[in-house]
Amino acid sequence: MNAARSSASPTRPARAHRRPAGGEPRRTASDALVLFGMTGDLAHKKIFPALYAMTRAGTLKAPVIGVASSRLTTRQLRKRIHDSVRQAGKVEDKEALERLVGMVSYVQGDYKDPDTFSRLREALGKARCAVYYLAIPPALFGVVIRHLDAAGLAHNGRVIVEKPFGRDLASAQELNRLACSVFPEDEIFRIDHFLGKEAIMNILYFRFANSFLEPIWNRDHIDSVQITLSETFGVGQRGAFYESAGCLRDVIQNHLFQIVALLAMEPPARRGFAAVHTEKTKVFQAMRPLRPEDLVRGQYRGYRKEAHVDPRSDVETYCALRLYIDSWRWSGVPWFLRSGKCLARDAAEVLIQLKAPPQQLFTDSQPAKGRANYLRFRLSPRSAVALSARVKRSGKEFVGEQRELYLQDTDPFEEMPYERLLTDAIAGDRALFTSEQAIEAAWAAVEPVLRRHPKALPYAPGSWGPKEADQLLADHGGWQHPQAEPDRDC
């Protein structure tokens, strides 16, 4: 990782073409991107800015066809794209924005109406290898996939399915069965934008590009692992969605489990996404099914007054859990995961707590909470890696203090997750996408507590959640709350 870089130059450097990972077949690039959910919130907030960035970088060359039920004129469509890109940040390249607008067309229609797909076929023209991005509510995934098949549009195409991948193991299996009955498995791209974040990718790289970690990366030297994803805001206008999902389904079963897999997986046998997927899946399969006593659910005060929320709701806006991975490397090591809304800080962080030295030679060698040595990955808001150690103060006495060896990366030209993932999906590169087996294994681990779980406990907005969550790791020093990162030069 690099020290903070200067951002004086406003010109975004051209990105080198990224070849498929070693050992993987080169796939045919898609010749059209079809965006179902063109007028939705996800498209406006994330997808249009990503398409603009891809246009600037020269990685988006295929036409974009939007599909939605809303009636839009050409002028309204152009305005929507312009507004989306401008709200995401300063428009550095107006010419690229106009090129993007010129590449986009629109098909209006009901997803349940076969005529919509007939008009889509006409709009595709000579395109023969389209990629269909389902940025729509999960209830419509099956409807669209079936109509693509019936209209003959699935042949030689690929599909991008936005999370969540089902609500439980049974629904995930059903969705996978349906998708695989229409598209080959290697043409199904299950997108989790977390996997496109630079800081998440760095976990995989940092682990296997540095030899000093492997000797200590096991149950003999690691006491516990904490993963925190905290947000200061509430559900906003997503009350209806949250009522159907909750924090466990929305964040932990996918985002945080993916981080666990990258930290816990064995070294892949070779370079290539198939080998990485295999090792990640083994981690999910080794997860001990959760029990109600491993779980603390919380709900911020005021949630029941949010729009589209049941006034008697028991849906959790906070979830903390204790997880075990029953493998040779990780047997007996607890993993503590938590996420929530209306918490004290916006942050995502991993803390790998190392065990204390076997003999305490110095009376001050262990801080009050026993965190002498740890490795910390700060994932957001700024990417960083820190290693904590005790160092002696000057003087005759053997008295020390806690220091962090700190590496920070602030790249002003870093790819946005959706930019990276859409570029890869169009190119047919599945390295950063999730496999069928991994999704089903992850659902199997949380299945026991989806319906049988403790009641959601109230907590104050701006806090770190219910106090009961502290008991999960009372024997492991308590939660390490992410702190504000100071500006550092290195």
In this structure, what are the phi and psi dihedrals at residue 402, rounded to the nearest 5 degrees? -85, 130
Residue type, 481: H
Q: Where are the beta strands (DSSP E) in 22-63?
A: 32-36
DSSP, collapsed to helix, strand or coil, labels residue 322 as strand
Task: Name the E strands within 85-126.
Answer: 104-108
Q: Is 325 helix (H, G, I), strand (E, B) or coil?
A: strand
User: What separation in angstroms does the CA of 29 have from each of 58, 127, 162, 183, 346?
Assistant: 14, 11, 20, 16, 37
Annotated active-site residue 255? The verdict is yes
DSSP 253: I
Q: How far is the C-alpha of 349 from the C-alpha of 317, rounded, in Å?
A: 19
Q: Cβ distance 266 to 285 under 8 Å?
A: no
How many CA atoms, within 13 angstroms, populate the side-chain half-sphere of residue 263? 28
Please identify which of the residues 44, 147, 193, 255 carries the catalytic annotation: 255
Cβ neighbors of 435 (< 8 A, separation 6 or more) are: 190, 277, 280, 281
Rg (CA), the chain: 24
**Residue 413: C-alpha distances to residues 7, 14, 27, 380 (Å):** 9, 10, 27, 16
CA contacts within 13 A on the Cβ side of 304: 12
Strand partners, 374: 353, 388
Cα(242)–Cα(139) distance, rounded to whole angstroms? 15
Q: How far apart are CA 229 and CA 39, in angstroms?
A: 29
Structure token digits, residue 3: 């020290």
User: How do strand 383-392 and strand 374-380 relate by DSSP bridges?
Assistant: antiparallel
Alpha carbons 203 and 65: distance in angstroms, whole number: 35
Give me the active site residues, please. 255
